[in-house]
Amino acid sequence: MSVVRDLILQADDQLRYPTGGELRSMVEFLSTGPSRMAVVRVLTESEKKIVDEAARQLFGRRPEYVAPGGNAYGQKQRAQCLRDFSWYLRLVTYGVLAGSTEMIQKIGLEGAREMYNSLGVPMPGMVESMRCLKEASLSLLSTNDAAIAAPYFDFLIQGMGGLMSVTGRGDDQPGAGPMKVGVALTDIMTGLYASTAILAALQARHSTGEGQHIDLALLDVQVAGLANQGMNYLYSGQLPKRMGNAHPNIYPYDKFAAGGREIYLTVSNDVQFRRFAARIGYLHRLLGTGDLDRDARKHRARTVHSGDVDTSRVDLRGSRHGEHSEEQRSQNHPRTLAIHALVLH
């Protein structure tokens, strides 16, 4: 529910005291209390002003919503729309107070997609609504206060677009759960799409003498960014899932322990894997005659069997066939980097 509670529970789950870094995080969180209270006070006292401005922006951009047949057409439907604006604004204030997105996730995102789909409310409209709510809210805050509140609006937008559903640790790992990307990625991507669209429109004007209408939505851009996940679903029928640092179609592609440090290893195709195997002294295993050795040669097979891996300490900088002794490797010889190579078995 809050940063302090989450850190304490995390330490307790691991049967330890909070680390120095965790304690510093608690102190930093507590020291920002007055600033967070100021943000919440402004948002709470200005609720009606924020909601009215957000609605004005939304219906100005999407007049079809208030036209006959639109989801906000008529007094009752419009009132329900404004009610949802207030509801999400209140959730943002909860997040700011607690320094946590847990309430937003549990109350505002889990099941929200299914609920709005069942009511016939378009998700692009909901994401655009959150963007308008964000702009209306931040316009009333100072630069520093806006920086405090903005991530909680971004959390809502990313959650509705599906990006968070494939970001974070898997359900079978500690700390599992949807996670927001560390930057306002969808906003940045939408800006990039806009710049490309503007260039295309200028080229069209140069060629035809006619202007172009550019229409962009945060949700559309975010869904487009999930292209490989969408293709995986269309091909396999399986819903994408969170995989931490791993990749759904490439293996090895993950973070691995390496001589007391951590490395991120990406081997994207069979040619790269052969080079990688030769470099770490695994080529003689790769060229064996066993079924699993043959599997390891093929990209798809490595991905399918990614869960059936063992680790073998080998030398990344030494001879291809391990001219250094096991004793040298175990002592982390300065000319070597011992890594955990992937060995299918």
Residues annotated as catalytic (active site), given as ranges:
187
The torsion region of residue 322 among left (phi > 0), alpha (psi -120 to 50) and beta comes to: left
pLDDT above 80 (res 338): no
Q: Locate the domains of the chain by residue range.
A: 32-161, 253-344
Of 112-126, 167-181, 281-295, the poorest mean pLDDT is in: 281-295
Q: What CA–CA distances, in Å, run from 47 to 41, 51, 64, 93, 213?
A: 10, 6, 25, 11, 34
pLDDT above 90 (res 226): no
The architecture (CATH level 2) of 32-161 comes to Orthogonal Bundle (1.10)
Cis preceding-peptide flag for 252 (omega within 30 of 0): yes
pLDDT above 80 (res 303): no
Query: What share of the chain in percent tops pLDDT 90?
Result: 22
Which residues make Cβ contacts (< 8 Å) with residue 205, sequence separation at least 6?
211, 212
State both tokens at 57: 């922006």
Q: Give the residue ranges of DSSP H helices in 178-332.
A: 185-208, 218-225, 227-236, 270-279, 283-286, 291-297, 299-304, 326-330
State residue 288 phi and psi, 5-degree precision. Answer: -70, -175
Q: Are 28 and 70 in contact (CB under 8 A)?
A: no
